[in-house]
Amino acid sequence: MNIAVKIQNPPATYQDVLDAPENMVAEIIYGKLNIHPHPAFQYTRARSVLGSKIGGPFDYDDEGPRGWAILNKPEVHIDGNIVVPDLTGWRRERMPVMPEVPYFTLAPDWICEVLSPSTMRHDRVEKRQIYADAKVTYLWHIDPDAKTLEAYELSGDSWLLTHVRSEDNTCDVPPFEAAPFNLGVLWSR
């Protein structure tokens, strides 16, 4: 699925990202600078709790299956785009050592976007296409307002919706099905 985009003239640069206000998230999507506020409590909490539920067993806990590097809001440069996904994961065989760099140029294996009113359109449309073009294998969309998780797997050049979980269903979704947890913890306050 290719999307038609209008590129800013002249295209935004990395300096535009660096010059953005500190209290905002700045991304360059298809040449256009996009600036939005940090999300409200329920979106930040969902991201934080999900990061601990996945990061623990798959990244840093000795009892878990391990094998992943899980990061919260890293800056990722993909094909001229600069994105800041909510959560990302790289398989350790692709990134055995975490580089000491200000941003990543290796596309993650898994990305999770927490959908908020200010980012939902970019997350569901433009950024989703960027991730497909970069061959990210797994994409999750978490919607704290609807209390849902939609999980996609890349099939060729398109995203295939593979799992939908809601409310307090068990989250047993690839690539993290080896350590299931109750999705309801993402919505609790």
Do residues 140 and 112 make contact, with C-beta atoms less than 8 angstroms apart?
yes
DSSP 8-class letter at 104? B
Structural domain contains residue 149: yes
Phi and psi (nearest 5°) for 96? Answer: -65, -30
Structural domain contains residue 18: no
Q: Distance (Å, rounded) from C-alpha 85 to C-alpha 127?
A: 9
Q: Is the pLDDT of residue 127 over 80?
A: yes
Q: Distance (Å, rounded) from C-alpha 185 to C-alpha 189?
A: 8
Q: What is the pLDDT of residues 73-98, one digit of tens each?
A: 999 999 999 999 999 999 999 999 98
Structural domain contains residue 82: yes
What confidence tier does 10 reach under pLDDT thresholds 50, 70, 90? Answer: confident
Structural domain contains residue 24: no
Structural domain contains residue 88: yes
Structural domain contains residue 43: yes
- Give the count of beta carbons closer than 10 Å to the beta carbon of residue 158: 10
If we measure between CA atoms, which residue out of 84, 128, 116, 90 comes closest to residue 102? Answer: 84
The model's pTM is 0.92
Q: What is the pLDDT of residues 162-182, one digit of tens each?
A: 999 999 999 999 999 999 999
Q: What is the CATH number of the domain that holds 73?
A: 3.90.1570.10
Phi and psi (nearest 5°) for 40? Answer: -70, 175
Q: Which residue type occupies 105?
A: T
- Give the count of beta carbons closer than 10 Å to the beta carbon of residue 167: 11
Q: What is the pLDDT of residues 16-66, one digit of tens each?
A: 999 999 999 999 999 999 999 988 999 999 999 999 999 999 999 988 899
Instruction: Give the number of domains in the chain.
Output: 1
Which residue has 């290796």 as its token pair?
106
Do residues 136 and 107 make contact, with C-beta atoms less than 8 angstroms apart?
yes
Position 4 scores a pLDDT of: 54
Instruction: Supply the range of the domain harboring residue 149.
Output: 38-186
Position 24 scores a pLDDT of: 93
Maximum separation of any 2 CA atoms in the chain, in Å: 51
Helix and strand counts by DSSP (H, E) for the chain:
4, 12
Question: What SS3 state is found at 120?
Answer: helix
Structural domain contains residue 116: yes
